[in-house]
Amino acid sequence: MKKNPSPSLSEEHHRESMQALQVEMREKMRAAKDKHGLLMVHTGGGKGKSTAAFGMLARSLAHGRKCGVVQFIKSTPDAVEKVLRSPNLTWHAVGDGFTWDTQDKAGDIAKCREGWRLACGFFNDPTVTFVMLDELNVVLSMEYLPKDEVLSVLRAKRSDLHLVITGRGALPELIELADLVTEMKEIKHPFNAGVKAQLGIEF
């Protein structure tokens, strides 16, 4: 029968492991010298892409930063806008809703073009330091905006601007360009079990 390690040995092993980790992490922190605006991408089939970006938005606003949001596809601002309402926040929802409901490709493209114009306005405003482009990944994957045009603008973004892009199906070229990429993986979702979207959770 295998004996459990004594508490003292377990504590000693833990302390040694944490000391080694401390050395490693402090070395990484010393090596991190660069500081610039990040291009961040939240993608994948799981829930939480926009929600995580809203968290970053809230943090930026809490630090008194001027922020902008463009929600592509969506016809009305997310309820989060009511909570984050601030003189430092400008929010645009530029869509007519789910594309499978609109069934109007030309109309959807026109809305996306308007949203991109608004986004470029944020990029060109030196007082705006954080921009969220919600569902832009979907727009690009459906070719509602030319990817070469969008990628060219993103490559030339201001060095002090933080930009987060959300939505399923992020383009490989955007993933390559980004500083930070997070993929949300669906393990289970209540909708697949017949549970309706619910107030405060999905919208």
Tell me the mean pLDDT in the region 79-96: 89
Tell me the mean pLDDT in the region 124-143: 97
The pLDDT of residue 122: 98
Average pLDDT over all residues of the chain: 89
| Parallel, antiparallel or unpaired: strands 89-94 and 39-43 | unpaired
pLDDT at 113 over 80: yes
Q: Is 128 helix (H, G, I), strand (E, B) or coil?
A: strand
The pLDDT of residue 82: 86
**pLDDT band at 92; cut points 50, 70, 90:** very high
Tell me the mean pLDDT in the region 24-50: 88
Which region among 32-41, 44-53, 155-164, 193-202 has the lowest average model confidence (pLDDT)? 193-202
pLDDT at 80 over 70: yes
User: CB 27: neighbour CB atoms within 10 A?
Assistant: 10
Per the CB < 8 A criterion, the answer to whether 79 and 51 are in contact is no
Per the CB < 8 A criterion, the answer to whether 76 and 98 are in contact is no
Q: Running DSSP on this structure, what letter comes out for residue 190?
A: G
Tell me the mean pLDDT in the region 26-36: 80
**pLDDT band at 78; cut points 50, 70, 90:** confident
* Predicted TM-score (pTM) of this structure: 0.81
Pairwise pLDDT comparison (173 vs 13), residue with the higher score: 173
User: CB 96: neighbour CB atoms within 10 A?
Assistant: 15
